[in-house]
Structure formats: C-alpha cells, structure tokens
Structure 1
Amino acid sequence: MDSDFWSDNRKAQAVMQQLNALREEVTTWESIATQLQDLLALAQLLEEEPDEDMQAEVVQSIPPIEEQIEKLQFALMLSGEHDERDAIVSIHAGSGGVDAQDWAEILLRMYLRWAEQHHFKTEIYDYSEGEEAGLKSATVEIRGRYAYGYMRSEAGTHRLIRLSPFDAAHRRHTSFAKVEVIPDVEDSIEITIRPEDIEVDTYRSTGAGGQHVNKTDSAVRMRHLPSGIVVTCQNERSQIQNREVAMKILRAKLFELEQKKREEETARLKGEHVQADFGNQIRSVTVHPYSIVKDHRTNFETGNTEGYLSGDVDPFIHAYLQDKAGGVDATEQA
C-alpha cells in the first residue's frame, strides 16, 4: 500500500513475485489441511455407519496427499539464498572426442526432459554443434520456482562408459562432459560491469537449423576482459536481445566467481584445503558391460540407466540435498 511502491518497477515486480510464491505455498498447505480434516470427518462417519464404497474412496484419497506432503517436506531443504531462482545451465563436452560431444547432447536432452516433467520452462540461449555429432557446448535457462535449488546438485563432471556408436570396431569408450549451474541473480544483486571491460563480437547464428538460424550477424559473443569469462547467445532474432541475454548470463557468472573467491578465502583463513572441483567426476553412467548410474558424492545408485537418461534425475537430486542437509544416508535410501 506504500505510495512509492511502484516507483521502482523492477523492484516492485520482484516483491510481487515473492509474495505470490509465498501465497501459493501457504494456500497449498491450507488445502492439504482442509483435505485431511474432511477425510478425518468421513472416517469418523464410517466408524458409525460403515460403507464399503465410501471407505474405498477415502483409502484412495490418502496416497496422493502423502505424495504431495512428501514433496513439500523435501522443498524445505531448498533453503539456500538463491535456491528459489531460475537456473542457467551450461554443458560442455570434455575429453572423449565425438563420444564426449554426443554425451553432452544426451545430458542436454536429459535435463530438458527433467524440466518438462516438473513443468519448468526452458530456453536454449546458445548451442554449438559438434563436428560429427552432438554438441560442443550449450547454455539453457530453466525457469521455475526452486529450479536452481534442484539443479545445483548437477554441477560437475559427468562420465559415460559405453560401447561407442562412432567406433567401427564397437569398442568401449569413456567420455566426459562438464555441467555448470548458476542462479539467475539479475534482479537481486548489483554487479558493476564497466563498458571498457567488455569486448563484443557479432557473428551469424550457427544453431541446429530452421528458425534458429538467420542471415544476419545477430549472434553475440561477449568477453569480460578482467576475468576472461566468455558468454555467447544466438537464440534471439535480434542482436539487441542477444546482447541483453548475454549480459544477464555474464552478471550471473561474475557473481558465481565472486562467491567462489569468498568461499576459498574463508576456507584459507580456516586452514582448510581448497580443492578445485573441475575434472572431479560427480557421477558415472555405465551402460556396458552392465547398467548402473552412480553418484560418487552420495553413493546413491540405480540400475535404471534408461529411465535416468530419459529425465528421471530426481532420486539423485534428493540424495544430494539430503546428504547436504545431514539427512538419511543415500545408500540406505537406495
């Protein structure tokens, strides 16, 4: 009701988004409480006047409510500063040649399917095709409440072991891909970027084809000279739109860099050893000579590689968050 509330439109919209999210959360809990009260009242009536059909209806109503409560309880673990925000996910092919580029594309497809299952919106900002197959790198934004809270468990190096479809001798190959996950913090922090610290190149879009490719130099490559960070965007039709998106991603990456510096300095002052996580595989997918997906941080594993690669990533996300929260051991959960 403050008369100056809408004077800063961006800030006001951020507050309204937070308000709507909180209202939705409270409404959900109140709805569950009402359903449980109604079921309890029905159960009391059935004790006095048994009715098999109504009893079956009550019993069938319980599992969906239990599942909803379980999801809400799990969401309580997503209490990080930026967990509620959208996620910017970058995937880079690592060592392994064509197999690694194919593996990177498999991961992109897996996360897009996971996002779709959670009713999150996705937008691919950059896609660099592989020379023979797959992709060299791709950047996608996943939009939805807690998108970053879920996806931060996926940051790191992922390994694939399989019989290579690109090897004429059909030998077993090991390939790697790196996943980077950062929150979209554009509206929550102030990152000063001086114009003289930015070097911008434009080029013709080289996406997967069709509507994603145009005949003008609308794609943007932006380099931040002090940090060496490079971001690209070729999704939008206009160069101006691509510049705006590239700047948003750059701000997020600079924020992440600053956060890492602070964490490393804190660890140094505490006398702890800081180990770079680049190249340390967090998860391995093996499809030959046996089928298994294993997370090396939590020891959670599954033999359903097909389901995992089709987007069933939640068990690994849950195990990671429970492990971080000091919950049940992931091996017991498995």
Structure 2
Amino acid sequence: MHDLNQRAQELHRRLENIKKYFNIENKKKDLSGLEAKSMDPNLWDDQENARRLMQNLDFLKKEIEDYKSMDEEVAALLSLSQENDLSKEFAKDIETLGKRIDKFELKSFLTEAYDAKNAIVSIHAGQGGTEAMDWASMLFRMYLRFCERRNWKTETLDISEGDEAGIKSVTFKVEGAYAYGYLKGEAGTHRLVRQSPFNADKLRQTSFALVEVLPELEETDLPDIQIKDEDLEWQFFRASSQGGQNVQKVSTAVRVIHLPTQVTVTAQTERFQEQNRKIALNLLRSKLWLLEQAREEAQKKDLKGEYRPASWGNQIRSYVLHPYKMVKDLRTEVETADPDAVLDGELDQFIDAEIQNP
C-alpha cells in the first residue's frame, strides 16, 4: 500500500514537470486557430495544404486529449492516495499510466525547430553488392514495421531495386506526430554481421547501409532558402519501380539537380509527373536545409574546406546475427540479445535512449 502511494506521488510530480513545457493554454489556442482554418470553404482548393492542416489538427487534438486524460487519472490516483484508499487492484493502472507518462516525457527532449515535422528517410546500400542491398532491404522493412507499430503512415517516394535481391536505395516519407524528432537519431551507418545467405559456404559477411533522415519542409518553413528556377536542371524518365500503366509507359519520374550545390534528388512513385515534381522540390528543400545546417556547424567548430556529407564514417549501430546474437548502439551503449525483435521494428529502447542522450 505504502509503495503504491509513493508511486502515485511520483506520477503526480512527473506530470507537474511536464506541465512546465507542455503549456496547455497555448496548445488550446493553436487548436482553435487550426479549427478556424479548417472551416474555410476554400481550404480544399489546395489539397496538399488542406491535408497537412488536417493532419496537424488531428495531432494537436490527440496530444491535448492524451494530456488531459493523464492529468485526470493522476488526480484520481492522488486523491485515493491521500485518503489511504489505494488498494493493490490499482497497481496495474499505475504501471500503465507510468508508461504513458514515459512517452510523453520524451517530447520534452524534442524541442528543435522541426522535431514535430514529418520525416523523410533514405536508405542506401553500401559496398558489397547483393549482401549490402539485402541489408538495405532489411532496414527498410525494420523502419516500416516500427512506423506501423506507432500507427504512422509511410509513403515510398523513390526506390531502386537490387539486380538480384534487396534494394540499392529507397526514400520514403513518414507521417506522424514528431516523426522527424524521433527518427533523426537513426541517421548514420548501420553494420550487419551474419552468415551469408547468398554464399554456398555460408561464410561470415559484414555489410553496411547508410540511413539519412530529413524533416519534410515547405517553402514557408524556410523563407531564407531560395530555390530559383534558373538554378534547377530537370530530367524526366520512365519510372523503374512497379506502378500502374501510366507510371510505366509515360515519363512520370523526375530528377532535379540544384546546379549551385550539385545536390540531386529523384521522385518516381506517383502516377503523374507534376506530383513527382512537387515531391522532388520538397526533398531538395530539405537537403539544402541540411547542407546549410552542416555549414553552420562547421563554422562553429572553425573547420575549413568544402563541406562533404561524410556520414559513412559515422557508424551508429551494429547488428550481429552470427556467431552470436546482439544489437548494440555505439553511442548510447544500449544493447539487446534479440536482433529478430529489433529487425521486426522494436526500436523504442534505442530511439528513446538516443533522444535522451546529451
């Protein structure tokens, strides 16, 4: 009984700390503003903007409801605790509420400008041919399963299939509250050690894949980044990925090169060229933002010379399937002996630790 009372008091203390950064009144004002905009009869003239507004409205509404629900439950438990009426039957309720507060507390670490945005994730197979391409495919499935567990929507924007198996590269969008904030720590090189399924001798093989994570940014998010028409070189081609007849027979796929920086992006999964052009421009905008961030970071560190995204040298996690089983994060030291669960999308312990990593 005394232990349950202490746990109820601790939940109350933690929720009070959450109140300091959550600011319920400001959230309610933001919600009212979005609800007013959603009533605009001309809202759906721009379907992409309307869809994004409704998504933000749903995210904010759910966040406020979750907070209010936790506040009410903690208040009820605290009242029972003060009356010494907190019986063992409430132990499970306290444990469940504690886990909900755990997840909410993580948001206090997601305070960067674009942490609440959708994410754009790219996976690139490293050197090693079919082995590396199969590893890239395994990572793609891992992230799709992680997003599925969180009820986040995913959309493949560009994919290049491997010659024999796996994928050479893939870019996909993740739509969900704080998707970028949660996933940005996954950027870097992921290393796999296993017995080769493509070698008759089943030799031990090491493969690498690079993961890039960007926020989905709009023109209004980055007023200082100007993309001029004369700085763009557009190329159009037939999509190589599976799709409808229109995708396969018409040059719907697009590639755009930003001439001043030589940053190149591709989009080919939508049925119409104009849709792929919009996707490519958003991808380009995000990559130019990342380039600018890296330059600013280099200036802070007084680094000289041209910026190069040397992410391949940034190995963040090792996945060992043979001769023993282990997944270990090289930054936080978090590890598990169950790589099958991790590769099936159970990434929370790694992502949560990295978010809280100073």
Displacement of 1:20 in angstroms is 6.4
- 1:150 corresponds to which of 182, 189, 195: 182
Do residues 197 (structure 1) and 231 (structure 2) align? yes
Question: Does structure 1 retain, via aligned residues, the 8 Å contact 2:265–2:284?
Answer: yes
In structure 1, the residue matched to 2:207 is 175
The 5 A counterparts of 1:277-296 are 277-296=311-330
In structure 2, the residue matched to 1:34 is 72
Q: Which amino acid in the other structure matches residue 311 of structure 1?
A: G
Displacement of 1:217 in angstroms is 1.1
**Structure 1: stretches of 5+ with no match in the other structure:** 48-53, 325-334
Question: Does structure 1 retain, via aligned residues, the 8 Å contact 2:120–2:214?
Answer: yes
Displacement of 1:145 in angstroms is 1.1
CA distance in 2, matches of 1:219, 1:21: 32
Q: Which runs of 4+ in 1 moved over 6 A?
A: 5-10, 12-20
- 2:63 corresponds to which of 25, 32, 36: 25
- 1:99 corresponds to which of 117, 122, 131: 131
CA distance in 2, matches of 1:173, 1:15: 47
In structure 2, the residue matched to 1:184 is 216
In structure 1, the residue matched to 2:334 is 300
- Cα 1:172–1:211 change in 2 (3 A) is farther
The 5 A counterparts of 1:1-334 are 21-22=59-60, 24-42=62-80, 47=85, 55=87, 57-186=89-218, 187-190=220-223, 191-208=225-242, 213-268=247-302, 276-324=310-358
Q: Secondary structure at the match of 2:221?
A: coil
- Cα 1:122–1:15 change in 2 (3 A) is closer
Displacement of 1:203 in angstroms is 1.3
Displacement of 1:154 in angstroms is 0.5
The percentage of counterpart residues that share the same residue type is 45
In structure 2, the residue matched to 1:332 is none
TM-score (ref. length: structure 2): 0.79
- What RMSD, in angstroms, separates the aligned Cα atoms of the two structures? 2.9
CA distance in 2, matches of 1:243, 1:21: 27
Does 224-233 or 124-133 show the bigger shift? Answer: 224-233
TM-score (ref. length: structure 1): 0.84
**Structure 2: stretches of 5+ with no match in the other structure:** 1-31
Question: Does structure 2 retain, via aligned residues, the 8 Å contact 1:163–1:172?
Answer: yes
Displacement of 1:18 in angstroms is 6.2
CA distance in 2, matches of 1:282, 1:62: 35
CA distance in 1, matches of 2:249, 2:309: 45
- Cα 1:89–1:275 change in 2 (3 A) is closer
CA distance in 1, matches of 2:329, 2:104: 24
Q: Which has the higher helix share?
A: 2
